[in-house]
Structure 1
Amino acid sequence: MDDREVHPLTAARRVRGLSQTALAARVRQAAARRGLRSGCDRPRIRKWERDTVPDAESQAYLAEALGLPADAALAHSWPHWLPRTPDGVLPLTPHSAVPALREALISVERRTFLTLSGAGLTGLAGQWASALPTEAPVGAADAPDTDDLLGILRASVDRLTTADPAHTRHTTRLLNAHLATVTDMLEAGSHHPATLQRLHTLAADLAHTLAWRHFDHGAHPLATRHWMAALHSTHALGDTDRGAGIISDLAYQAAWRQDHPLAQDLLTHALSRARHPAARSLLHLRLARSLAAAPTPARGAALRALHAAEHDLARAGTDRPSWCAWMSEADLAVDTGQTLLDLGDTRPAHQLLAQGDHLLPATRDKTRSIFLAYQAAGHLAHRDLERAAHAATTALELARRTRAPRCEQLVQRLTPAFRPHARNDTVARHLQLVDA
């Protein structure tokens, strides 16, 4: 192997945040789980990362230590069966949840991020779309009872998630600590089957919540890693609707960053396995938005996606997955309006944006801030400065009150369009608030 090329084992180890010593310990643990012993240590790992070929038994231990199926080592010769994932996108396997969670946790600690490629994310979504149905997590029937601790963790997570946004910095730190605890418990193994399922569910909930918080604060690579960790945990549960929702969130992030080809690829994969009408409605709606906002809008495809979103929401009923229970007529109206606005259909777009704002309950002020920012952009496009400035001012006030930097950023994007009209009283008041 060329000395300038990183050995696949080195890449796989680094992606998981493992030192050579830590990987050697995992190899010994894999052997111990089989009632055997391994003399693996740091020097041996170092040899394997150079020219020495581990025997078949050691390769099976290595696969398990890296969160891969033990028979992965049988697929190809050494070292070609090792996943080459220097971008941190871990392959989806029945045993990949803990490595993915560890990667998200380690990323928080080191505050530096490997580049996450769009191709890697598309590949992960494609792997998820073509994966065979996953069996429910299998545990140990004679495992110690941890229901009390899990109950405490669940109650704490629920309270922290719904705490006042003023405490977001503190609650995020605590949620991250809970995720580390749940990951430790998953890695320890030996749980009742029902307990194992609850642990994976809690891990997915925590990673999902933290992903949105990091996204709201502009920490995009960190948000992506937490969404990927949530996808791995959800895959372990066999919950394809929620998996589709997580991939849809990754697509939302891509569209937010103006990467519409990536957003559309991810949503296409997500729709291939989403089953619940509420889930499909949300996915179709996000696809319509991305198709319309692309540099070359796909008008026909966007309108078909809007029609599908409306049709699916009409048959969704009230029994919906918790992650998309909020999906409502208000969301449909506003996102349809924004899609039509991007397509140039301004009159119906403004009507739908106003309708969505009227339908949205007061409990969703962060969403209302985003809706009003969309309205402001639409009014600006029509040179209606008074209404644009009024909507933007209300949106900015809501964003700051709900501690939502992402929503504030959306309003701030409109500021250059307002600056030339600073003599207008309403615009001047808005710019004063922006600069405060």
Structure 2
Amino acid sequence: MPRHPDTVITPNTLLTEARRRLTSPQRPGQRMSRAELADAVNAALDQLYPRTDLTAHYVDHRWVGKLERGEHRWPSEERRAGLRHVLGAATDAELGLYSPRRTGGMSAPGHEREAPDNSSLADLLPVNDLLQVVMPTVGRRVGHAAVSDLAARVHRLRLADDVLAGGDLIAPAFRELRAATKLYRETSHTETVGRGLLVQVGELAQIAGWIASDAGFASLAERTYRLGASAARQAGDRSLAANLLGSLAYQHANTGRERLAVDLARAALREAGPEAPAEARALCLDRLAWAYARVKDPQPALRALGEAHDALLRRRDGDAPRWAYWVSQDELDVMDGRVFTELQRPLKALPLLSRALEGYDATHAREVALYLSWLVVAYADAKEPEAAACAAARMLDLTEGLPSARVAHRACHVMERMIPFRGVTEVRALLADRWAPGRGKA
């Protein structure tokens, strides 16, 4: 695909980092070279497309170099499938691959499309400093009623996120966030009311960031989380600041920045402190467990899971912040199942995920679909392809038309995970009916 003459070429650091995370198959203790990656991709093409002659799609170290330098961003669908297979990526976006000519789909991190209403944080933030203290100006005076009204709107948005995907909610979420920051900055109020408004800005930033992340706007989500953490710290709400940092750590863990996720999840736990409400501390520990699982470090991951359960046992009625309404023993069990799946311990994961899905609210289609995606992987790891195919079909039925980047990425991962079992009748039928490699038919 020829480039527009004004195209700005930027190195594809995500792809380079993904290659360097792999060890050389020929030189112990060294990183995989570009030539070795090319050889691995060629072998993957033969494995993924056994009845197709793809020699015309074979690549070499020069081709890998062009990708890493950013000179080429959108290889053929077969080559992208080979790269994902070798580098262990669920999506093209995780490898910094995107189509410059596509405007309607999800793009790579750092190259996201604009939010539906051209939402930007530029009008919310002090110039060039996300963490600068926001000082209110003298304007109309507001009191505690304004805080209560804002808190009610924030919670309605949270409840909406339970049943709607990020693509449906991103516009109203950022309208609310802009309105809340404007209310704080352009009104006069007492110090107590000001703290209350800042808390609500922080809570709004957390849910807006979560929605943006789900819709596929990773950079926007990160900036939003950092805005919220700044507001929460100014308000003296350490648990809320920890929730925002933990949310960002969770995003990093799922978007190729796993080591940074571990560091940030640890920071979130320190921010919360030992006196944090039980639900807040348990949530921080769960996110830390997930970050450790993503870097394949089982012992600290399992230790964090155990500490999360211990923390929740100390919950006290009326002590939990409103934003932690969903943190429960059942949700911790779901994370246990996901961590066990990530660590390839399917016999531990399957009963936890199966039990969670049995009683989960069917109106929460996105969460059900995501949990099914881990159930599929656990079944595949347990060499139960028929059960995996059944769960995958159920997941795809739920995700059709759902505007969630997270679900779309997991659907691609699930279908690629089924490829090794294509000799099984149920899997072959699923692949033939619901998926075409690289096209995202799922």
What TM-score do the two structures reach when normalised by structure 2?
0.61
| CA spacing shift, 1:391–1:210, aligned 2, 3 Å | same
Q: Deviations over 1:21-51 (max 9, x none)?
A: xxxxxxxxxxxxxxxxxxxxxxxxxxxxxxx
Q: Who is 1:206 aligned against?
A: 204
- Partners of 2:325 and 2:349 in 1: how far apart? 25
Q: Check if 1:388 corresponds to 2:388.
A: yes
Counterpart among 141, 145, 170 of residue 144 in structure 1: 141
Distance 1:178 1:305, change over 3 A: closer
For the residues of structure 2 that align with 1:142 and 1:344, how far apart are their CA atoms? Answer: 58
**Could you tell me which residue of structure 1 aligns to residue 279 of structure 2?**
278
Q: Larger deviation: 349-358 or 417-426?
A: 417-426
Corresponding residue number in structure 1 for 2:237 = 239
- State whether residues 353 and 375 of structure 1, in contact with CA within 8 Å, keep that contact through their aligned partners in structure 2: yes
Instruction: Provide the rounded CA distance (Å) in 1 between the counterparts of 2:268 and 2:280.
Output: 10
- Point out the structure with the larger helix share: 1
- Alignment-derived partner of residue 313 in structure 2: 314
CA deviation after TM superposition for structure 1 residue 420, in Å: 5.3
Shift of 1:300: 2.4
| Aligned position for 2:335 | 335
CA contact under 8 A between 2:305 and 2:336: conserved in structure 1? yes
Partner residue, 2:292? 291
Q: 1:364 to 1:106 in 2, by over 3 A?
A: same
Tell me by how many angstroms 1:429 deviates: 4.8
Separation in structure 2 between the aligned mates of residue 138 and residue 219 of structure 1, nearest angstrom: 28
Residue 416 and residue 149 in structure 1: after superposition, are their counterparts in 2 closer, same or farther (change >3 A)?
Answer: same
Contact 1:332-1:356 at 8 Å conserved across structures = no
Residues 1:210 and 1:381: Cα distance change in structure 2 (over 3 Å)? same
Query: The residue matched to 1:339 in structure 2 has which SS?
Result: helix
Q: Distance in 1 between matches of 2:215 and 2:410?
A: 12
Q: Which residue of 2 aligns with 1:360?
A: 360
Summarize the alignment of residues 29-428 of structure 1 with structure 2, pairs less than 5 Å apart.
105-106=121-122, 144-145=141-142, 158-159=155-156, 162-163=159-160, 171-274=169-272, 275-294=276-295, 297-319=296-318, 320-400=320-400, 403-419=403-419, 421-422=421-422, 424-428=424-428
Contact (CA 8 Å) 2:209, 2:220: kept in 1 or not? yes
One-letter identity of the residue aligned with 1:279: A
Bigger relative contact order, structure 1 or 2 (CA pairs below 8 A, ≥6 apart)? 2
Unaligned runs of 5+ in 2: 1-118, 436-440
| SS of residue in 1 equivalent to 2:306 | helix
The answer to whether the 8 A contact 2:292-2:301 is kept is yes
CA contact (8 A) 1:139 1:193 kept: no
SS in 1 for 2:121: helix
**Which stretch shows the higher mean deviation, 207-216 or 159-168?**
159-168
Q: 1:257-308 CA distances to partner (integer Å, 9 max, x unpaired)? A: 13221111111111113222212212222222222331xx333222221211
Count the aligned residue pairs: 311
Kindly state the Cα deviation for residue 212 of structure 1 after the two structures are TM-superposed. Answer: 1.0
In structure 1, list runs of 5 or more residues that go unmatched: 1-102, 115-119, 125-133
Q: How far apart in 2 are the matches of 1:104 and 1:392?
A: 36
Higher Rg: 1
Query: What is the CA-CA distance between 1:310 and the residue it aligns to?
Result: 1.5
Contact residue 165 and residue 211 of structure 2 kept, 8 A: no
Separation of aligned partners in 1, 2:400 and 2:407: 8
1:162 to 1:290, Cα distance in 2 relative to 1, 3 A = closer
Offset from partner CA, 1:167-203 (integer Å, 9 cap, x none): 9656532332332232223223522334323321332
Aligned-residue offset at 1:249: 0.5
Tell me if structure 2 keeps the 8 A contact 1:330–1:357: no
Task: Tell me how large the CA RMSD over aligned residues is.
Answer: 3.7
Counterpart secondary structure, 1:273: helix
- State the distance in 2 between where 1:172 and 1:192 align: 31
- The corresponding residue for 2:43 is none
- In 1, distance between residues paired with 2:240 and 2:262? 18
Partner of 1:414: helix, strand, or coil?
helix
Q: Give the drift of 1:229.
A: 0.9
- Whether the 8 Å contact between 1:329 and 1:356 is mirrored in structure 2 is no
TM-aligned CA distance change 1:289 to 1:171, over 3 Å: closer
Match of 2:434 in 1: 433
Do the aligned residues in 1 keep the contact of 2:286 with 2:308 (CA within 8 Å)?
yes
Q: Is the 8 A contact 1:330 1:355 kept in 2?
A: no
Partner Cα separation in structure 2 for residue 243 and residue 390 of structure 1: 41
Between 1:214-223 and 1:185-194, the stretch displaced more is 185-194
Secondary structure of 1:378's counterpart equals helix
Distance 1:354 1:145 in 2: 49
2:35 aligned residue: none
Q: Contact 1:276 / 1:316 at 8 angstroms: preserved in 2? A: yes
TM-score of the superposed pair, with normalisation by structure 1: 0.62
Distance of 1:269 and 1:175 partners within structure 2: 27
Indicate conservation of the 8 Å contact 1:138/1:193, yes or no. no
Deviation of the 1:396 alpha carbon: 2.6
